[in-house]
Chains A and B, each alone.
Chain A
Amino acid sequence: MKLGKRWLPAHVLVWTYAALLLVPLYYLLASAFKSNDRIFAHPFALPSSLGLGNFRTAFTSADLGLAVVNSSLVTVFSLALTLLLALPAAFALARSAGRAAVVIERVFSLGFLIPTFAALFPTFLLAAATGLFHTRTFMVLFLPATALPLSIVILVQFMRTVPGEMEEAARLDGASTFGVLRHVYTPMCLPGIATVLLLNFLTFWNEYLYSLVIIGPDPAQRTVQVALPTLKAITGTDYGVLTAGTVLTLLPVWVVYTVLQKRMQQSLVSGAVTM
Chain B
Amino acid sequence: MTTLTPTPGGTVVRPADPPFAARHQSPRQGGTILAVPALLWYLVFMVGPLVAIFVIAALHWPGMLQPVSFAGLGNVRTVLDDPVFWDAVRNTAIQLAVTLPVMIVCAYMLGYYVAQRPPGHRVIRYLLFIPGLVSTPAKAMVFYAALSPDGLLNGALKGVGLGSLTDAWLASPTTSLACLIALDVWSGVGFTAVLFAARLAAVPGELGEAAHLDGAGHWRTMWRIHFPVIRDYVGVVTMLQFLWTLFDSAQRVLLLTQGGPGTSSTTLSFLVYQKAFIAADLGYSQTVGVILFLVGLAGLLAIRRLFRQTY
Contacts and interface: CB of A to CB of B under 8 A. Distances in A.
Interface in B278-311: 282, 285-286, 289-290, 292-293, 296-297, 300
Contacts of B218: 3, 6-7
Interface residues of A, number: 108
B165 interface: no
A250 B133 CA distance: 8
B11 A105 contact: yes
A25 B129 contact: no
A250 B10 CA distance: 39
Contacts of A107: 39, 42
B88 interface: no
A92 B134 contact: no
A91 B199 CA distance: 28
Given A14-B113, A157-B6, A249 B135 contact: yes
Contacts of B243: 115
B155 A114 contact: no
B292 A119 contact: no
B213 interface: no
A170 to B, nearest CB: 11
Interface residues of B, number: 109
Interface string B210-244: 00000001100000000000000000110010010
Given A20-B186, A145-B45, A269-B194, A119 B52 contact: yes
A89 B130 contact: no
B150 A237 contact: yes
Nearest to A261: B126
Given A92-B31, A104-B32, A250-B134, A121 B113 contact: no
Contact of A141 (B1, B31, B45): B45
A153 interface: yes
Interface of A: 2-3, 6-7, 10-11, 14-15, 17-18, 20-25, 27-28, 31, 40, 43-44, 85-86, 88-89, 91-93, 95-98, 100-102, 104-126, 141-142, 144-146, 148-149, 152-153, 156-157, 160, 164, 168, 171, 177, 181, 202, 205-206, 208-209, 213, 225-226, 228-229, 231-232, 237, 239, 242-243, 245-246, 249-250, 253-254, 257, 261, 264-265, 268-269, 272-275
